[in-house]
Copies of this chain bind each other. A is one copy, B any other.
Amino acid sequence: MSSNSFGKLFTVTTFGESHGPAIGCVIDGCPPGLPLSADEFEADLGRRATGRTRHTSQRREDDAIEILSGVYEGRTTGTPIALLIRNTDQRSKDYGDIVETFRPGHADYTYWHKYGIRDPRGGGRSSARETTMRVAAGVIAKKWLAERHGVRVRGYLAQLGELVPARFDAEAIEQNPFFWPDADQVPELERYMDALRKSGDSVGARVNAIADGVPPGWGEPIYGKLDGDLAAAMMSINAVKGVEIGDGFAAVAQRGTQHRDEMHLDGFTSNHAGGILGGISSGQPVTVSVAFKPTSSILIPGESVNLAGEPVEVVTKGRHDPCVGIRATPIVEAMLALVLMDHALRHRAQCGDVGPVQPLIP
């Protein structure tokens, strides 16, 4: 019941600071017999990694994962899978001049209040470096969901500052470093980011994720609802300020006739609900949308206070992302996969491998 654990039956516990010796996680509850090797983590970790383009942090993380336990002769054994990544590029000196200064909008002030400890190394435990292990755990969940249930999870950048996609082309997403679903806009995004970086400022973003193939019946009333767990999962990601399921806040101004998804024997006519009704999956795609704030680690001076209780001006040098949302797509996907996997196991526990009824609507 650690606060650094996520999931009831497929439980991921993460540890590590961004500038400590290592980060890692322990995954408990994975079904036995799933083929797994260390190189399967590379693709998704690469999608999340810094330093791939000029638009993200230039820190070079060597995200080489070592499997410490839970896998024998290439298959999961059913016992805890521990994953480890050594931190290699830990330029703590970059943070030298902010050791005593709190950064506006940053967790260092609240961590210090909570624990009375000031660990200035790259955000310590609050660093987005922690999300590396979410992505790693998500790789296992994605694989099991795909093999066992044909579930496919994918995400994309749905807004960058004020820019929105002109169209949705699923093929385009993985062809550009922004996970943007419209290839034609990519040059515009690059100019936008170049200008932003030059200005020293940062900007927010919206990431969407979709899970296709989720069977009806996953999710547990009342406080273990699928959407409740998704909201917790997404809000736990660094810099997230909002979560929507289906139409989300657009539903506020909708009428019931407009929002309800009518049902026919060959399918639903729409998916305003985002594939979840009463906290339980309906068989439609599960859709979630997540708001990322602009990072507060920017080059433009801001007013703050220091440990000595003096007013100071602060500039965050370091190597930060001008838009943390860009690298967040694989993280959102991972959290969606982790929640679904957990609920797949929970549903199986209570209702068995074969559910009580056949789906009425394909």
User: What's the minimum C-beta distance from A349 to chain B, rounded to whole angstroms?
Assistant: 4
Cβ–Cβ contact A75 & B117, under 8 A: yes
User: What's the minimum C-beta distance from A297 to chain B, rounded to whole angstroms?
Assistant: 8
Cβ–Cβ contact B360 & A309, under 8 A: yes
Please indicate the chain B residues that have their CB under 8 angstroms from the CB of A113 in the complex. Answer: 216-217, 280, 282-283, 355, 357, 359-360
Please tell me which stretch of A57-65, A177-185, A259-267 contacts chain B, meaning at least 4 of its Cβ atoms lie within 8 angstroms of it.
Answer: A259-267
Binary interface encoding of chain A residues 273-317 relative to chain B, with 1 for a CB under 8 A from any of its CBs, else 0? 110111111110000000111111110101111000111000000
Cβ–Cβ contact A278 & B31, under 8 A: no
Q: Is A247 an interface residue (CB 8 A)?
A: yes
Cβ–Cβ contact B219 & A263, under 8 A: no
Cβ–Cβ contact A69 & B105, under 8 A: no
Q: Is A246 an interface residue (CB 8 A)?
A: yes
Cβ–Cβ contact B33 & A294, under 8 A: no
Query: CA A236 – CA B14 in complex, angstroms?
Result: 24
Please indicate the chain B residues that have their CB under 8 angstroms from the CB of A224 in the complex. Answer: 3-4
Q: Is A151 an interface residue (CB 8 A)?
A: no
By beta carbon, the residue of chain B nearest A248 is: B242
Q: Quick one: which of A179-219 are within 8 Å of B by CB?
A: 201-206, 216-219
A161-B253, A223-B232, A231-B243 given; name 13 further pairs at CB < 8 Å: A3-B224, A16-B69, A32-B350, A77-B117, A105-B272, A111-B278, A113-B357, A201-B256, A225-B235, A231-B232, A238-B278, A263-B305, A348-B352
Q: Is A330 an interface residue (CB 8 A)?
A: no
Cβ–Cβ contact B243 & A251, under 8 A: no
Cβ–Cβ contact A280 & B348, under 8 A: no
Q: Is A21 an interface residue (CB 8 A)?
A: yes
User: What's the minimum C-beta distance from A348 to chain B, rounded to whole angstroms?
Assistant: 5
Q: Is A104 an interface residue (CB 8 A)?
A: yes
Cβ–Cβ contact A130 & B222, under 8 A: yes
Query: CA A334 – CA B183 in complex, angstroms?
Result: 46
Q: Is A159 an interface residue (CB 8 A)?
A: yes
Please indicate the chain B residues that have their CB under 8 angstroms from the CB of A221 in the complex. Answer: 3-4, 79, 111, 125-126
Cβ–Cβ contact A345 & B353, under 8 A: no
Query: CA A195 – CA B108 in complex, angstroms?
Result: 51
User: What's the minimum C-beta distance from A168 to chain B, rounded to whole angstroms?
Assistant: 18
Cβ–Cβ contact B251 & A293, under 8 A: yes
